[in-house]
Amino acid sequence: MIRVLLVEDDDTIAQGLRYALEQEGYCLTAAATAAEGLRALREQPPFGLLLLDLGLPDGSGFEVCRAARRAGDVPVIFLTARDDELNTVMGLDMGADDYVTKPFRIRELQSRIRAVLRRRAGATATVLPGGVRVDLKKAEVTRGGEPVALSALEYRLLLVFLAHPGQVLSRSQLLGGVFDEGGSFVNDNTLTVYIKRLRAKLETPDGPALIATVRGLGYRLEV
């Protein structure tokens, strides 16, 4: 049974999640403050998944994430408020596995949880439309069995997309996930160029679109 630590100060959300996740066979420990969450990490380990609200009365879900990551590698999904976009970008940057924006449907969170756990369980390759295959262990990409040479930055950009399949990512979310070789943020124009290059390398001219432009919102990896 997978033990889940939920740190969430909104009692309605916490109760709804407890019911839904226990129905699915998870064993849930709930904490309402960052301090309680940190205590649960110390006193009741190990957890197989953390669900962390970012806005907590005594701090942020980031603190709990940081503490958990110091103690070991555990999947983390952030529960963020709509106005937390900047925080979300930081969260992805910190290595959160995924996030959901409130208000979310429990079904949506459940499918994210399953996806994160499946990925973590050693899914080492992802197959995308157009015969594109990404081997995450070897950091190798092939199209129709032929190797595709991606630069480090193109590969990192692809990984950001792969962490959120089928989900629209804003330019700022993508920018938050990729750094250039010198470790500085990639600028907006460069992002456009890299998306163009990724498309040119991964899509066939008459094949399906792999990275869709969602006008006014951002980009989406088709799955």
Q: In the bound complex, which residue of the shown chain has the CB atom lying closest to Ca ion? A: 55
Which CB atom, from 53 or from 97, has the smaller least distance to Ca ion? 53
Which CB atom, from 55 or from 130, has the smaller least distance to Ca ion? 55
Q: Of 21, 31, 53, 148, which one interacts with Ca ion (CB under 5 A)?
A: 53
Alpha-carbon span 114 to 108, nearest angstrom: 10
Q: Of 9, 63, 85, 222, which one interacts with Ca ion (CB under 5 A)?
A: 9
Q: Restricting to residues 123-162, which ones interact with Ca ion according to CB under 5 A?
A: none
Q: Is 85 in the site for Ca ion (CB under 5 A)?
A: no
Q: Is 84 in the site for Ca ion (CB under 5 A)?
A: no
Q: Is 63 in the site for Ca ion (CB under 5 A)?
A: no
Express the helix, strand and coil content of the chain in percent, nearest 5 each. 40, 25, 35
User: Cα(first)–Cα(last) distance of the chain, in Å?
Assistant: 29
Q: Is 55 in the site for Ca ion (CB under 5 A)?
A: yes
In order, the DSSP letters of 3-60 are EEEEE-S-HHHHHHHHHHHHHTT-EEEEESSHHHHHHHHHHS---SEEEEESEETTEE
The residues binding Ca ion (CB under 5 A) are: 9, 53, 55
